[in-house]
């Protein structure tokens, strides 16, 4: 049976400006691995979680933006008959 991980107590953190963005200093005990994280709002809570790399082709394709560009369909006539 898996036991839930103990939660780290909440801490007050500093908010600051980085150019036009608001940023937060993340204390060492809350550091995330990697170079990217996912962020979302749940009501008035801000949730930041590690971004796991895609594990397969379908997972990778889900992360890509749809292509809006129109593509021209080239003429593709059937091949000429060949005598063997």
Distance (Å, rounded) from C-alpha 46 to C-alpha 41?
A: 5
Q: What is the pLDDT of residues 12-45, one digit of tens each?
A: 999 999 999 999 999 999 999 888 899 999 999 9
In a domain, 73, yes or no: no
pLDDT over 70 percentage in the chain: 93
Beta-carbon contacts of 38 under 8 Å, excluding residues fewer than 6 positions away, are 48, 49, 50, 51
- The tally of domains found in the chain comes to 1
Q: Is the pTM of this model over 0.75?
A: no
Is residue 20, in this structure, part of any structural domain at all?
A: yes
Per the structure, the complete domain to which residue 24 belongs is given by 15-56
Q: How far is CA 62 from CA 13, 37, 56, 66, in A?
A: 33, 16, 10, 9
Q: Tell me which H or E stretch contains 45.
A: strand 45-50
């Amino acid at each position: 049976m898996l036991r839930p991980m103990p939660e780290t107590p909440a801490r007050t953190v500093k908010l600051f400006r980085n150019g036009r963005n608001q940023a937060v200093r993340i204390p060492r005990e809350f550091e995330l691995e990697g170079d990217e994280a996912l962020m979302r709002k749940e009501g008035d809570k801000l949730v930041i979680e590690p971004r796991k790399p895609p594990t397969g082709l379908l997972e990778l394709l889900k992360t890509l933006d749809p292509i809006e560009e129109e593509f021209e369909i080239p003429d593709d006539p059937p091949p000429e008959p060949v005598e063997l």
